[in-house]
Amino acid sequence: MSGVAMTKMPAQTVAPKIEVRERQEPPAEKGTGKAKVAVRNLDFFYGRAQALHNISVEIPERIVMAFIGPSGCGKSTFLRTLNRMNDVIPATRVEGEVLIDDHNIYDVGTDVVELRRKVGMVFQKSNPFPKSIFENVAYGLRINRLTSSYSELEGRVEEALRDAALWSEVKDRLKTSALSLSGGQQQRLCIARALAIRPEVLLMDEPASALDPIATSKIEELVFDLKKQYTIVIVTHNMQQAARVSDTTAFFLLGKLIEVNSTEKMFTAPNEKLTEDYITGRFG
Amino acid sequence: MNAVRPVDRMRRVRSAIMTTLTGLCTLLAVGILLIILSYIAYRGIGSLNFRFLVDSPRPVGEGGGIGNAILGSVVLLALSSAFGLPLGISVGIYLSEVGKGRFTSAVRFIVDTLTGIPSIVTGVFVYAILVLPMKHFSAFAGGVALALIMIPIVARTTEEMLKLVPHSLREGALALGAPQWRVTLGVVLPAAASGIATGAMLAIARVSGETAPLLFTAFGSRFFNYYLDQPIASLTVQIYNYAISPYDEWHAQAWAATLVLMTLILGINIIVRFLTRKRF
């Protein structure tokens, strides 16, 4: 959608329609500046095909970083290397380092279960379990034994649903099927499910791509609120969305990381010619 | 309104012909089934009464019933389900969720081959490995024979049903820090439960009609039997014995027993459907 709007613009100007939202940022949202995630020289292969080439990037704590780029550029693949979700795909291979809190998650002794508890993920297509709303949110808490009593469990479920801005809509029907919710609600349920286990990093793979504008704006507001507590990495096709929600933006092209910059700089005066070409809609 | 173009008219005629044809084929298939069912009901209903359902067989002319055969069939089905369903479902889980590579392909191929083995072969096999060493026919051997028939059916339907569960559900659970076995047992299996139950139902329905393997294993009995290491009656073997007998009374009883067998399968079907109905 955004691409259509932008291709009509004169090629020499940098997309003026993309506005970076002016915000009054409370100090807590600035982030601590410490790198929560540091990726060093990461290569990734599907069989013999190399999907990621020598990616190095640092993601500071408590900010929102957006990954943009055309389809198939490797941004989702890269996102999935951050919680080793690619492990479940056969014949894939990783080289390089992903340090989370200075610990390389690809070290042999890494507990993948523990890693994924710490690095939560929300998928492009909402994927609620065919269970009740309550059980969906409680799932992560139950399997990780994070609560010691049922009342504590209930409390954590409510908290997660509140954080995901879904509580008021579902509080009277927690025992009904999660599949009875609308698409936008299902996606927020999946966010609540990820938040319930209190991850430190939240990976979002195009969380609003299948949603209507109203549901999308709810998710975006949510992302904005959540960065007070979480480090968030969001993949998006929608450049306006990247501009609206993120502090820093990374541009991927053909498996390479072309540019990482503050979102404001990225959408007004990017350093790289390729970034400018993509953002102004000259390709992609 | 414009006149319908000849090309469009042809298309409509073709469409109407094909619709009628498929409708007729459906009617034919369902019709034959209905004729069979109603003929069985018509022939069987006359000899059906309470005593027939609870009595054990008596000599010709003295009435008697099929109570022992009903009990025997239920025991045999319970035994075979107890052996066959867990094993079959486990194999299905292995094929879909755990195994990868050549070994899994080999297992799948073997399972497919087993599905096609004539049931009498299974009967003879169990006769050789269980009945001969035990030196007599037994309900246990019958249950094993039926279970061997069930396993490949259940395994393949379970595998297919598990593969229908979207991959995104597995990833969703894994992303929450769930280990593989909890994903399979807690998320994937429940999501496929009703499909797996249908597969189990098909397998049970299939073996409840089996006669040949039981002739070599459970053998049949004219008395109530409460011991699993003894020969046991079954509806199918009873029907077979009565149907090939020269007595009209036994023929009538065979029809009635057939009606009971069908009702039994229908009953199991309804109960399983109810227990595994989609709740979410």
Q: Which residue do the tokens 């069908």 mark?
A: B262
Residue B191 burial (10 A CB sphere; 0-12, 13-18, 19+): buried
* Local structure of A7: helix, strand or coil: helix
What does pTM read for this prediction? 0.78
Cβ neighbours of B175 in A, within 8 Å: 83, 85, 116, 120-121, 123, 194
pLDDT > 90: percent of chain B = 67
Neighbouring C-alpha atoms within 13 Å toward the C-beta of B210: 33
Backbone angles phi, psi at A250, to 5 degrees: -120, 135
B30-66: burial string, b at 16+ Cβ within 10 Å, e else: eeeeeeeeeebeebbeebbeeebeebbbeeeeeebbb
Residue A251 has pLDDT above 50, yes or no: yes
What does the pLDDT look like over B79-101, one tens digit per residue? 999 999 999 999 999 999 988 88
Residue B225 has pLDDT above 50, yes or no: yes
- Average pLDDT of the segment spanning B107-112: 94
What does the pLDDT look like over B25-49, one tens digit per residue? 999 999 999 999 999 999 999 888 9
Phi-psi region of B220 (alpha: psi -120 to 50; beta: other; left: phi over 0): left
What does the pLDDT look like over A132-153, one tens digit per residue? 999 999 999 999 888 889 999 9
Residue A14 has pLDDT above 50, yes or no: no
Residues sharing a CB contact under 8 Å with residue B145, sequence separation 6 or more, in sequence order: B80, B119, B122, B123, B125, B126, B213, B214, B216, B217, B218
Question: Around Cβ A12, how many Cβ atoms within 10 Å?
Answer: 7
User: When comparing pLDDT for B6 and A243, which is higher?
Assistant: A243
| Contact state of A114 with B177 under an 8 Å Cβ cutoff | yes
Residue B118 burial (10 A CB sphere; 0-12, 13-18, 19+): exposed
Residue A208 has pLDDT above 90, yes or no: no
| Contact state of B173 with A88 under an 8 Å Cβ cutoff | no
Q: Which of A127, A144, A177 sits opposite B172 (nearest CB)?
A: A127
Q: Which of A123, A144, A178 sits opposite B177 (nearest CB)?
A: A144
pLDDT of residue B59: 87
Q: Using 50, 70 and 90 to split pLDDT, how confident is the model at B64? A: confident
Name the residue ranges covered by the structural domains of chain B.
6-47, 52-275
- Average pLDDT of the segment spanning B140-162: 95
- Average pLDDT of the segment spanning B206-220: 91
Q: Using 50, 70 and 90 to split pLDDT, how confident is the model at B2? A: low
CA closest to B191 among chain A residues: A130
- Average pLDDT of the segment spanning B207-236: 90
User: When comparing pLDDT for B155 and A183, which is higher?
Assistant: B155
pLDDT of residue A158: 94
CA closest to A194 among chain B residues: B176
Alpha carbon distance A54, A45 (integer Å)? 11
Interface subset of A 53-112, CB within 8 angstroms of B: 83, 85, 88, 90
What does the pLDDT look like over A33-80, one tens digit per residue? 578 899 999 999 998 899 999 999 999 989 999 999 888 888 999 999
**CA triple A171-A193-A252, angle to 5 deg:** 135
What does the pLDDT look like over A210-248, one tens digit per residue? 778 888 888 898 888 888 888 999 999 888 889 999 999
User: When comparing pLDDT for A9 and A20, which is higher?
Assistant: A20
pLDDT > 70: percent of chain B = 98
pLDDT of residue B280: 59
pLDDT of residue A121: 93
Cβ neighbours of A179 in B, within 8 Å: 280
pLDDT > 70: percent of chain A = 88
Average pLDDT of chain B to the nearest whole number = 91
How high is the ipTM of this complex? 0.79
Q: Using 50, 70 and 90 to split pLDDT, how confident is the model at A32? A: low
How far does the CA of residue B279 sit from the closest CA of chain A (Å)? 8
- Average pLDDT of the segment spanning A240-266: 91
Whether the Cβ atoms of residue B178 and residue B269 lie closer than 8 Å to each other: no
Alpha carbon distance A247, A166 (integer Å)? 25
Q: Which of A79, A110, A113 to mutate to test the interface with B (most CBs of B within 10 A)?
A: A113
B188 interfaces chain A, CB cutoff of 8 Å: no
Q: Which of B100, B168, B176 sits opposite A193 (nearest CB)?
A: B176
Alpha carbon distance A65, A250 (integer Å)? 7
CATH of the domain spanning B52-275, picked from 3.40.50.12780, 3.30.420.480, 1.10.15.40, 1.10.3720.10:
1.10.3720.10
pLDDT of residue A7: 42
What does the pLDDT look like over A98-145, one tens digit per residue? 999 888 999 888 888 889 999 999 998 889 999 999 999 999 999 988
Largest Cα separation within chain A, whole Å, is: 62
| Contact state of A113 with B166 under an 8 Å Cβ cutoff | no
CA closest to B97 among chain A residues: A88
Residues sharing a CB contact under 8 Å with residue B135, sequence separation 6 or more, in sequence order: none
What does the pLDDT look like over A267-281, one tens digit per residue? 888 888 888 888 888
Interface subset of B 22-41, CB within 8 angstroms of A: none
Element (H, E) at A275: helix A273-279
Alpha carbon distance B147, B142 (integer Å)? 9
What does the pLDDT look like over B160-182, one tens digit per residue? 999 999 999 999 999 998 988 99
Q: Using 50, 70 and 90 to split pLDDT, how confident is the model at A28? A: very low
| Domain A2-12+34-279 architecture | 3-Layer(aba) Sandwich (3.40)
